[in-house]
Structure 1
């Protein structure tokens, strides 16, 4: 009787996960994809009355690249070229799980229209390419006389931070302070000279800004800004995205022509004392319009699909910005960035 009991228990343990399931709509198994991979999946576990606890993506055995509470997953992962035997797995609140294998091949230097080569700059939080600038009210132009020691605006960075980190190399700490209310600090990375062919910048039309960020008290930030910039053929394309925190908890996008922020109606509620995952997708059309495509924050996908027009410029190149805005007291605060990747094609 004891053997029968053990057998029945084992049979139940093996059988119950069969009631759980995952429906994957993107990517398809065997797909060839660009470096920014869109994962969309829904999990169910009808045999568990408590429902699905979480769903995640493994990019290699024992390497959980992303997970989100609940039964729905909609996010982008930025992956280097190669073939990945990824697995989407769900866990329910009864101790059972189910998984679906999805094999993908990420393009390796392939040509993507007009001679453009797909690429990704990975782990930018560890690069020595960052530049910092103060932007003071009311003009918010770059302050040429300002220095990191202030006093009107102060700023600093620290790489390899292990206090709050996701990657083995550590995060990059960005800090803001000073005495002038509403002063901002802008940091950027200029990619052009690091491209295999610096003359290829005009060939790139699709961009993904993928970053994780952490702050112990994000509520005192007036706003956090994440921008993608392209300057080609006398035209300036700025895909500016601002998460207004102290000023309203909403995403805004930049109006290039009229030089002001446009409300999106999309909520922005990053979580303090937790890692927040942000993915921004942008595009330049064949007739040189900007498209603000989408924002995904902590697994919540929001379509923008806002069109804009470029403005004149004498600059050339491709950059990203990260900006921290001070509040009405210019209270000092820090934000940590990790697993920061920028992909283009």
Structure 2
């Protein structure tokens, strides 16, 4: 689990997250009102879709969860756990390194894995099962929602971000008081263990079973501009390459204007410390990838075009993709993880950088000069 704690903040750009066109899971939430957010959060928690629940949390609530886990204080979040003990469904101590690496890049997935593990192991201090938003009232700092039919006294505190999105800032129940995220006392009781449904989350619906299925899904996601879905199909090494300090962003998106990356939290020279935008995005590489690819598409900086692309075949774990524009042929280098899932490890084409992941246009030296 120490691998999880290594995920920190990268270089701190951008203002509010961009609004996407068409279907894109990462922007499929209604942040327009406290009622809408409270209802979506309640539904997500009740159905054990903790990935969606995470994306409805405020930046400060996300950071409070991160700080509790990183400091070994998981006992302030989960009932009946010891110091440095972290509930987990997938990310257990005996999980293979590549599986842990894959989880550690995205705190949405870590949050989901820990809450799923706590649900199965009778370590959750509250439950939203059977709950419904009863009333939403304005408060001095934002809004408060009462949840009826779930844990006694369950309620949410909500606030508006600086870019105008409503989020859940804290959870309280019984006589508990609000603090970012939630906090429990050492003697807090636990909710009885519950069986998890399947599929629970958007990620559970992705078919990782064969190289062909993943290649087809990746081509479709890239063609549709659903960058977050495409990101989930990458190998851990490919994901790590997106923001690797030794691999400039210009290798991923040649000619990208790094001063024009809204919603990413990247490259902001006047930001001296992690602010709300950085806390909201920078511990989720998938979110950052989605935003930089959206900016790259708008700026015309994508090095290839998947719209109209066709999978021609897979030989020796390399999928050949024919595209309507140069480069006319792309290679998807497929890799099978220790858990049996197939992923895209690298995209390459004639003249691309053979060592860069998930892809690289040109050399490192040329990219730094640009």
TM-score (norm 1): 0.26
| Greater per-residue helix proportion | 2
Tell which structure's C-alpha radius of gyration is larger.
1
Q: TM-score, normalised by structure 2?
A: 0.25
